[in-house]
Structure 1
Amino acid sequence: MRVLIIGAGLGGLTLLHGLRRAGIDARVFERSAHQARQPASYGIHLNADGLHALHACLPDENWKMIDAAGIPVPMIIRFHDPHRGVLATIDKRFPADTTDPVTKRRAVSRGKLHEALLHNTHTDVGVEPLVHWDKKFTHYELHTGGVRAYFADGSHTDGDILVGADGSNSLVRHQRLPGLQRQDLGIVNIAGRVPLAGAVAAALPADLTDGGINNVVPARNGWMFLSTWPTGDPDNTDVSNGAAEYVVWAWAGSRDSYPDGVEKLDGTHLKRLVSERVQDWTTPLRTMVDATDATTITTVPLRTMPQLSEWAPSRVTLLGDAIHNMTPMAGIGANTALRDAEHLCHALTTAVDPVGAIGVYETAMRHAANQALALSTRNATNAALAGPTNRTMFRTLLRASAAIPALRRKVFGPSI
């Protein structure tokens, strides 16, 4: 079997390693040039699903790079009042004696994760590379017993299976499932990041900088998310002041709560919009926004795939954002892509019929993806679109759950 993977993102590269580890011929085709620098990012929280997938698919050497690069972070979710501190805390940390590296949640920069996934994908001269760079996929053709992928440079290649791992604007998806389109939720996040150093480090209390997930829930409209992350690339060049960590924050609001054309505003204007919304908040939160370099501030329109309906399997399938792109409001998009890679690898390596294997994978993938899509969309709409009555009820529920453990367990699940 020869598997053609379109896209050298996290899911595509994880699938590459898993298939080759199982003895299957697999190759990745990526539209970017090999020399292109990965953009600085906010990093990823790897949960048990993502870590299990990486551990199962990657060679030991690659896994050890990720294990070394990851910074353990607690699975703590806090809800804050912008004036009076914590409303509720949901602590889902593993017990203190848990040492299993495959289940201990950790933060890692996308740059370092991508670096680990690319490790040992280069081959000797005269041998076909595992990752073909500067290969922009255009379309595919199915033929008896296989599939042919075409590229913008006029070349093509043949395989038994084609996997679209080419992100939220997937060209593979546009051809395979042309009616499946992302939906705009009418929500825009204004996001920024600031080094955890100087005045910011001095101002922010420990419960905002320990790597937990913090949500600031005002009584009226809007919502702020913030958390600390390791630096966003292997060379530590994407943040100023040489800080080892930075704080990423995002203000979520409905599009109609902003001026017209908000997505075209520069960072200075966006910073002013957020500053106006937090002007009467506590000093630490105002300090964080005020200290943020306007050049790091941008808008993130929230879009999502709808719930996925059933389709008949073929020799072409999809994983990750290419099929179930979701909002960042659940923090599970990348982990879901990694899990897809593991499950697709297992299906292809344990079945005789590749189309049947893809059918098994897609059935399970749709079920899990629909749950993740629902959670992500619900979190986004509750944060940005909830009316005053719903917001008051939610804040009341948070206070009550903080005081009543049984209610907290019922609403948020078990915690330690």
Structure 2
Amino acid sequence: MQSLRIGIVGAGLGGLCLAQGLARAGIAATVFERDRTADSRWQGYRLRIDGDGQQALRQVMTPRQYELFRQSCSLGGDDCFIDPQLRALPERKPAHWRPSAQADDAAERDLSANRQTLREILASGLEGQIRWGHALRGFRETPEGLLLDFEARPECEVDVLIAADGVGSAVRRQLIPGGEPDDGGAIVLYGVTPWEALPAEALTPELGQGVCVVFGDGLTAVIEAMRFRAPLPELARRLAPEAALSPLPDYWYWACVARAEDLGGALPAERLSGDALRARVLQATRGWHSRLRAVFAHGDPRCLGARAIRISAEVPVWRCERVALLGDAIHAMSPAGGLGANTALCDGAALAQALARAGTAAEAAAALRAWEPGMRRRAAAALSLSLAGTARLLQTTTRA
């Protein structure tokens, strides 16, 4: 008897979370990823993993993997909310904000993970199931299943297809023409400043602890010190030898969110150089305190990236019972509040649980239908918070 064939498009956090959960249930899904290697493309840096995201990871990971995830997160500290002149703005703290975890205290606190490190942990044990360099062009239904069409690769047939291929999802484009998320006219620019590159005189008490949120006039910056307990490869060898973690020194993470016109205009089709992106940030923050601007000025130009913020107005409906979409592929969100990654993790964990009981293609299709209402409720709540968070980040807050 042929085993159930589950295809997952996209080896990002949501897709790997699903694959890892299925693996724990004894189901070997195939993950198709357009990138040629795990580190062939800039993936972003620090992620806030909230209580829901932590629960999703605990559900799909082995105990060793989950402990490695926890121990690989930043040491954390007290969070602060300030204006560009370092004056406290405690009233700007969002109502749903959870403090950063400090050392080993993670109760009711968020954890700050390095994105690539978390991705490497989620991929551990799945090496034989991930097919790198598989860019999906589309699919078509057959009497036996779904035939996947790849660029310069042989076709592959699956019983059910899960689209976890991000905001530019090829599956969504085919199933939901015109279902692209909206461009709200805002930009997020990410950067990394090496720990040792920031001069001692630039340090301020707010930096080097937890998350520091700086509310400017229509531009908000998030700065956080990413400090690790031990070298990441050493942590992996000690806690979960099956996971190969790339070495990573401590760094300062920062991100600026603003309307496009306040960050130098809309992003061109070609990727801007790091020097050009850094110049945009320094121009936009020219009136800020010199200690804050030093974080941006000493950013590594090789590690700067930017993207337009795209937000789904709603979760659209698709018509194919053997296909499911999760994460940014179906409900793209603003980085405000860090809800996108956490919602994708919850999508993947819940879908793994639903599919774990399926033994046939018909049962798998029924599992997708049973999972979808929960995904929609979860996404609707997160999209609402994401929209409100974006508005809060972009509001004008001039103080005398």
User: Same fold judged by TM-score > 0.5?
Assistant: yes
Deviation at 1:284, TM superposition (A): 1.5
Q: How does 1:40-51 map to 2 (within 5 A)?
A: 41-51=44-54
Q: Give me the whole-angstrom Cα distance separating, in 2, the residues matched to 1:24 and 1:31.
A: 22
Q: Give me the whole-angstrom Cα distance separating, in 1, the residues matched to 2:64 and 2:70.
A: 10
Q: Secondary structure at the match of 2:165?
A: coil
Letter in 2 for 1:331: G
Change (3 A) 1:282 1:114: same
Change (3 A) 1:154 1:260: closer
Q: Secondary structure at the match of 2:356?
A: helix
Deviation at 1:5, TM superposition (A): 0.9
Q: Residue 246 in 1 paired to residue 251 in 2?
A: yes
Change (3 A) 1:256 1:32: closer
Change (3 A) 1:177 1:230: farther
**Equivalent residues of 2:76, 2:102 under 8 A apart:** no
Q: Give me the whole-angstrom Cα distance separating, in 1, the residues matched to 2:302 and 2:130.
A: 33
Q: Secondary structure at the match of 2:387?
A: helix
Letter in 1 for 2:373: T
Q: Give me the whole-angstrom Cα distance separating, in 2, the residues matched to 1:378 and 1:221.
A: 14
Q: Give me the whole-angstrom Cα distance separating, in 1, the residues matched to 2:123 and 2:101.
A: 33
Deviation at 1:285, TM superposition (A): 1.0
TM normalised by structure 1 equals 0.78
Cα RMSD, aligned residues only: 3.2
From 79, 82, 96, give the equivalent of 2:81.
Answer: 79
| Greater alpha carbon shift after TM alignment, 162-171 vs 53-62 | 53-62
**In structure 2, what is the equivalent of residue 148 of structure 1?**
147
**In structure 1, what is the equivalent of residue 379 of structure 2?**
369
Letter in 2 for 1:27: T
Q: Give me the whole-angstrom Cα distance separating, in 1, the residues matched to 2:109 and 2:27.
A: 30
**Equivalent residues of 2:213, 2:222 under 8 A apart:** yes
Q: Identical aligned pairs, as a percentage?
A: 28
- When Rg is computed on C-alpha atoms for both structures, the one with the higher figure is 1
Q: Secondary structure at the match of 1:86?
A: coil
**In structure 2, what is the equivalent of residue 112 of structure 1?**
117
Q: Secondary structure at the match of 2:90?
A: strand
Spell out, residue by residue over 1:98-145, the C-alpha distance to the aligned partner (whole angstroms, 9 max, x if none).
9678x65322222222222222224xxxxxx32222222222222346
TM normalised by structure 2 equals 0.81
| Greater alpha carbon shift after TM alignment, 313-322 vs 78-87 | 78-87
Deviation at 1:38, TM superposition (A): 5.4
**In structure 1, what is the equivalent of residue 242 of structure 2?**
none
Q: How does 1:7-406 map to 2 (within 5 A)?
A: 7-34=10-37, 37=40, 39=42, 41-73=44-76, 78-88=80-90, 90=93, 92-93=98-99, 105-122=110-127, 129-144=128-143, 146-197=145-196, 199-212=198-211, 214-218=212-216, 220-230=217-227, 234-236=245-247, 244-260=249-265, 263=268, 266-311=273-318, 314-350=321-357, 353-384=363-394, 386=395, 388=396, 391=397
Q: Specify every segment of 5 or more residues in structure 1 that has no aligned partner in the other structure, as ranges.
A: 123-128, 238-243, 397-416
Q: Secondary structure at the match of 1:206?
A: coil
Q: Give me the whole-angstrom Cα distance separating, in 2, the residues matched to 1:86 and 1:57.
A: 40
Q: Give me the whole-angstrom Cα distance separating, in 2, the residues matched to 1:95 and 1:34.
A: 32
Spell out, residue by residue over 1:335-379, the C-alpha distance to the aligned partner (whole angstroms, 9 max, x if none).
111111111111222468332321221111112112212222232
Q: Secondary structure at the match of 2:330?
A: helix
